[in-house]
Homo-oligomer: A and B are copies of this chain.
Amino acid sequence: MAKLTSRNEDYSKWYNELVTKADLAESSGVRGCMVIKPYGYAIWEKMRDEMDRKFKETGHQNAYFPIFVPKSLFEAEEKNAEGFAKECAVVTHYRLKTDPENPQKLIVDPEAKLEEELIVRPTSEAIIWNTYKSWIQSYRDLPILINQWANVVRWEMRTRLFLRTAEFLWQEGHTAHSTREEAVEETEKMLEVYADFAENFMAIPVVRGVKTPSETFAGAEKTYCIEALMQDGKALQAGTSHFLAQNFSKAFDVKFTNKEGKLDYAWATSWGTSTRLMGALIMTHSDDLGLVLPPNLAPIQVVIVPIFKGEEQLAQISEQALNIVSKLKQKGISVKFDDDTQNKPGWKFAEYELKGVPIRIAMGARDLENKTVEIARRDTLTKETQPIDGIENYIENLLKTIQQDIYNKALNYRDEHITKVDTYEEFKRILEEKGGFISAHWDGTEEEEQRIKDETKATIRCIPLDSQPEEGVSLITGKPSKQRVLFAKAY
């Protein structure tokens, strides 16, 4: 197995190689669309199940809405439509027929043209609010707290596996409320659900913040986000929660009778995370040997590799190994005993390092004698010898330790890469030399934001929710500012 390109050599190449070699995903025969392979999908399933649990715990229900949005509905909320118009895959016909000039071929049947074109959903606010119209008459029908797991399509010109693909999998929450306050509260609650999930399940530290107007979701009044930092110093938006105010209820005429008996438009939120999180996972934790998976997300948490000469030794080791397998399974730990005889232990070690299996147990003849095993951690690459007796408890605790250590490592890296700067010169120097988040003053205008973006490629990732008021002057215009914001180059 050829080694991965190292991160230092070419970060982008390292990422692409890792995604394909670790069997997470690959490009498909369809421009910009990916195939999520079983190993990658198993990780996504773990993310999905945990998020789904959290959504249900916070009172949400799943539902499913059509993949197609008729053009007339799509354009009803103008800003939203404008924001996505350039990325829309459009269905115009509903039938193929045999090519009269070449009976081996099929052509689009020109007689089967749709009266109205259908957009393949890039996001579902339009189709969902058109549905909510008939569901909402009174404040008693509210709140509506619905989530959908679905595929969406955004026709991107430059695509990268997981990070930016023409089709991706995601969840989109769409809620309706009777008051502004309740909708804002929901928006903030779901941001916290995302942040908690990212940090405590994916071991990815995130900054909770609010987007500037230029980065706000098309159709929202306010977009909250969680921003993570990748190992190359670039930021990645890991989830967004939008306060949509009454924009969609007005566009789709969704009115209800409130407690006072007056008609009002419903208040809305939407929030989403996607398979992009797979990219965040990979780029936050992995190294030059391959994936590093937090135990919570690892399809295989422990692998046992026998080191043997001849069948008799293998049989002896297997007996002990299967005993350990059974004890670990009883604790709900997913474990694989790799007794394949085609590949040598060294090959297996490299393979499971590439796949990010958190703990590797090696068992040889001497271990059998000593009633011990060798335990190797994927995250630290350290090894130690432990007695077989009680190994299941040791492993159970070690998995928790690894989960926490992986998070702490990412947190340290992130915190070391938030730099306060006060001049534009320093800003450019830090961005070039160190990368990461740069905490700086901004004059609050789109002009300054845009100029910085044009000149440095850095954007305002967010106005952090926990940032303290601080008097200062903005980077370029020198105008007064009351708060620092976070800049970074981003995925």
Let me know if A28 and B127 touch, CB within 8 A. Answer: yes
List residues of chain B with CB within 8 A of the CB of A98. Answer: 85
Chain B residues near A30: list those with CB within 8 A.
Answer: 66, 68-70, 118, 127
With a cutoff of 8 Å between Cβ atoms, the chain B residues found around residue A104 in the complex are 75, 78
Q: Contact check: which of B29, B81, B108, B130 meets A29 at CB < 8 Å?
A: B130
In this assembly, does A418 line the interface, its C-beta being within 8 Å of a C-beta of chain B? Answer: no
Please tell me which stretch of A37-45, A214-222, A392-400 contacts chain B, meaning at least 4 of its Cβ atoms lie within 8 angstroms of it.
A37-45
Q: Which of B41, B63, B130, B146 meets A64, CB within 8 Å?
A: B41
Number of residues of chain A lying within 8 A (CB) of chain B? 61
Q: Are B74 and A35 in contact (CB under 8 A)?
A: no
Question: Is A153 an interface residue, CB under 8 A from the partner?
Answer: yes
Q: How far is the CB of A297 from chain B (nearest CB, A)?
A: 15
A58-73 at interface with B (beta carbon < 8 Å): 61-71, 73
Question: Which of B35, B87, B105, B146 is the one whose CB lies under 8 Å from A95?
Answer: B87
Taking a contact as CB atoms under 8 Å apart, the answer to whether B29 and A131 are in contact is: yes
Number of identical protomers: 2
Determine the residue in chain B with the shortest Cβ distance to A106: B75
Q: How far is the CB of A259 from chain B (nearest CB, A)?
A: 14
A51 within 8 A of B: no
Q: Is the CB of B93 within 8 A of A90?
A: yes
A75–B107 CA distance with the chains assembled, in angstroms:
10
Given A87-B95, A88-B95, A96-B88, are A61 and B33 neighbors across the interface (CB < 8 Å)? no
**B38, B66, B96: the one within 8 Å of A86 (CB):** B96
What residues of B have a CB within 8 angstroms of the CB of A35 in the complex?
63-66, 131
Residues in B whose Cβ lies below 8 Å from that of A75: 104-106
Residue numbers in B under 8 Å from A257 (CB-CB): none
Residue picked from A63, A73, A95, A155, most chain B C-beta under 10 Å: A63
A29-B127, A86-B96 known; A41 and B68 CB under 8 Å? no
Provide the residues of chain B in CB contact with A88, threshold 8 Å: 94-96
Interface residues of A in 339-382 (CB under 8 A from B): none
A92 at the interface (CB under 8 A from B): yes
Whether, in the assembled complex, A264 has its beta carbon less than 8 Å from a beta carbon of chain B, the answer is no
Q: Is the CB of A28 within 8 A of B90?
A: no
Known: A85-B106, A92-B93. A37 touches B62 (CB 8 A): no
Interchain CA distance A70-B119 in the complex, whole Å: 18
A73 to B28 Cα, complex, angstroms? 12
CB-CB under 8 A from A87, the residues of chain B are: 94-95
A274 to chain B, nearest CB (A): 12
A151 to chain B: closest CB distance in Å?
A: 6
- List B contacts of A36 (CB < 8 A): 63-64
| A79 to B105 CA separation, bound complex (whole angstroms) | 12
Is there contact, CB below 8 Å, between A70 and B29? yes
Query: Is the C-beta of A451 less than 8 angstroms from some C-beta in chain B?
Result: no
In the bound complex, do residue B106 and residue A71 qualify as a contact, i.e. CB atoms below 8 Å apart?
yes
Question: Which residues on B sit within 8 Å (CB–CB) of A61?
Answer: 38, 41-42
Which residue in chain B gives the minimum CB-CB distance to A154? B94
Shortest distance in angstroms between A32's beta carbon and chain B's nearest beta carbon? 9
Question: Once the chains are docked, how many angstroms separate the CA of A108 from the CA of B113?
Answer: 13
Query: When chains A and B are docked, how far (Å) is the Cα of A87 from the Cα of B34?
Result: 25
Whole-angstrom distance between the Cβ of A61 and the nearest chain B Cβ: 4
Chain B residue nearest to A275 (CB atoms) is: B64
List residues of A (113-156) whose CB comes within 8 Å of B's CBs: 117-120, 127, 130-131, 146, 150-151, 153, 155
* Chain B residue with Cβ nearest A149: B149
Contacts of A34 in B (CB 8 A): 66
A294, B457: Cα distance in complex, Å? 58
Contact of A91 with B89 at beta-carbon distance under 8 Å, contacts A33-B67, A41-B62, A106-B71 already known: yes
Q: Is A167 an interface residue (CB 8 A)?
A: yes
Q: Check: A391 CB closer than 8 A to any chain B CB.
A: no
Rounded to whole angstroms, the CA-CA distance of A385 and B371 in the bound complex is 61
When distances are taken between beta carbons in the complex, the residues of chain B under 8 Å from A78 are 104
What are 17 contact pairs spanning A and B, CB under 8 A?
Answer: A28-B66, A29-B66, A29-B70, A29-B73, A33-B66, A35-B64, A36-B64, A41-B61, A42-B61, A45-B62, A67-B151, A67-B167, A68-B167, A74-B96, A81-B96, A87-B95, A91-B92
Interfacial residues, chain A to chain B (CB-CB below 8 A): 26, 28-30, 33-38, 41-42, 45, 61-71, 73-75, 78, 81, 85-98, 104-106, 108, 117-120, 127, 130-131, 146, 150-151, 153, 155, 167, 169
Closest 6 CB pairs of A and B: A33-B66, A38-B61, A36-B64, A85-B96, A94-B155, A90-B93
